[in-house]
A and B are shown apart, each in its own frame.
Chain A
Amino acid sequence: MTALLSIGELLDSLESGLRQRLAERGIERPALIGIRTGGVWLAELLRERLELEEACGELDISFYRDDFSRIGLNPRVQPSHLPFETEGRDVVLVDDVIMSGRTIRAAMNEIFDYGRPASILLATLIDLSARELPIQPDVVGQKLALSGHQRVKLKGPEPLRVELIDTRQQA
């Protein structure tokens, strides 16, 4: 597999990619929404880097997951918090890792219950390309191909770091 970039490199690549996308679309005042927990940390960092004044939204997708019939409700659900109206806004949805795409589907369903945004861009730090739905990020820090026994996780918020976990060593 390709070597994992450092967190600084990942963030640089995410920021420059996002700047480019926003410029292409002529978006000057995007509304940043992070998915709990990792996505919220990243949204906050991107907000600082892009020098946006508006606070970030925080999304808890527990009520929108498609696996309630299999695993039930997340026992530690927290309220979502969007400090702005999403109606007509250009939203940047931020998450740490995209894999199946199901989290993003749930997040988009939730966002639409607050109002109808003008557009949504998806920014993820790491893309694991194991998609089960036709959902692709617009901006990615790094694309990784992991072997079956590897997992990747964003830990934080201080210090923010990406950890590669080998499930064989844990067992």
Chain B
Amino acid sequence: MIAHGSTSPSLQLTHEGRLKHFLTLDGLDRAMLTAILDTADSFIEVGERTIKKVPLLRGRTVVNLFFESSTRTRSTFELAAKRLSADVLNLDINTSATSKGESLSDTLLNLEAMASDMFVVRHSQSGAPHFIAETVTPGVAIINAGDGRHAHPTQAMLDMLTIRQHKGGFEGLKVAVVGDILHSRVARSQIRALNTLGVAEVRVIAPATLLPRDIESLGCKVEYDMSHGMRDLDVVIMLRLQLERMEGALLPSEREFYRLYGLNQEKLSLAKPDCIVMHPGPINRGVEIESEVADGSQSVILNQVTNGIAVRMAVMSMAMSGQVSERVKARPAEVRT
């Protein structure tokens, strides 16, 4: 496993406090998260035009570096980069160089030699994007598209955008994250974002076997009983049961999990009547969520996908912008020497 402690703020922020990499929500304040959401709002408008493209990253090269497979995240990153007019290279490393024995560092050196401006990284090991950000050539931006159990910051931000659209803001909101918290990098980033943006209460609802031991230190209330946990909720976020990551007997059975923690109309009726239902996808119908609820009037699952493109456009353009401003600042010093 690649070691990762807490990311020092200087790794993802410039001296002036602008974003230059996007690795984690740790160390980003409310003003920064709000700036990301505001910028994303402007990109939503772009997505509604005849020509859904702006020239911001024209002539720049974005490499989607996916060491772990993904459909939704990769395709929305690809679309986001293309709508910013960047050139996009999609690399599925599972089936590529590393299987021929090339090391991560060598793969990166080769990609840098192709004059890439940004790497969007997904990796099964926590901390991989941090490692890359520490070693990459200055001027190249790194965006975390999900690392191990650590973080998935763009997913959390698209969820925040969806909540803000439907609830107008964050003040006073009660939000629950339900299900497989243990294996979820999404949950960690969501809890961080919700607390930074100042909701009234964050709850996690899960069986004890699917909760990490330190979960309460992230700033959330633990509920083991769903009927109790659903009360007064404004937002319920369902997580996918990550069966492929489960080692050992964490669950008696899928059916038992669904009975206790699956979201159906009956459990949803315990929340506020205007409670919205979210899910990062891909959804397992009948495992975490009933079809009727997933397709129902309170579901905003497909809005989340649309917002994913806008949030990724915002983060990519802000990080590139931060890299540019730092490079410009560095230039006079180079001349002097």
Q: Enumerate chain A interface residues (CB-CB to B < 8 A).
A: 60, 62-64, 68-73, 75-81, 109-110, 112-115
Q: Is B267 in contact with chain A by the CB < 8 A criterion?
A: no
Q: Is B116 in contact with chain A by the CB < 8 A criterion?
A: no
Contact B42 A70 (CB under 8 A): no
- 19 additional A-B residue pairs with CB within 8 Å, beyond A68-B56, A79-B42: A63-B46, A63-B54, A64-B55, A70-B328, A71-B328, A72-B321, A72-B322, A73-B56, A73-B320, A73-B321, A75-B18, A76-B38, A78-B42, A109-B55, A113-B49, A113-B50, A113-B51, A114-B49, A114-B51
Shortest 10 CB-CB distances between A and B: which pairs? Answer: A72-B321, A79-B45, A63-B54, A73-B321, A113-B51, A79-B42, A72-B325, A72-B324, A77-B42, A73-B317
B57 to chain A, nearest CB (A): 8
Q: Chain B: interface secondary structure?
A: helix
Q: Is B53 in contact with chain A by the CB < 8 A criterion?
A: yes
What range describes how many residues of B lie at the interface? 20 to 34
Q: Is B318 in contact with chain A by the CB < 8 A criterion?
A: yes
Assembled-state Cα–Cα distance A63/B321 (Å) = 11
Assembled-state Cα–Cα distance A108/B322 (Å) = 27
Q: Is B35 in contact with chain A by the CB < 8 A criterion?
A: yes
From 53 to 74 in chain B, residues with beta carbon under 8 angstroms from any chain A beta carbon are 53-56
Q: List 13 A-B contacts (CB under 8 A).
A: A63-B317, A64-B55, A70-B324, A71-B325, A72-B324, A72-B325, A73-B321, A77-B39, A77-B42, A78-B42, A80-B42, A113-B53, A114-B49
Smallest Cβ-Cβ distance to A73: which chain B residue = B321
Q: Is B223 in contact with chain A by the CB < 8 A criterion?
A: no
Contact A80 B54 (CB under 8 A): no
Contact B318 A115 (CB under 8 A): no
From 285 to 299 in chain B, residues with beta carbon under 8 angstroms from any chain A beta carbon are none
Contact A69 B55 (CB under 8 A): no
Q: Is B108 in contact with chain A by the CB < 8 A criterion?
A: no
Smallest Cβ-Cβ distance to B46: which chain A residue = A63
Q: A63-B56, A114-B50 are in contact. Are A75 and B35 (CB under 8 A)?
A: yes
Assembled-state Cα–Cα distance A24/B185 (Å) = 64
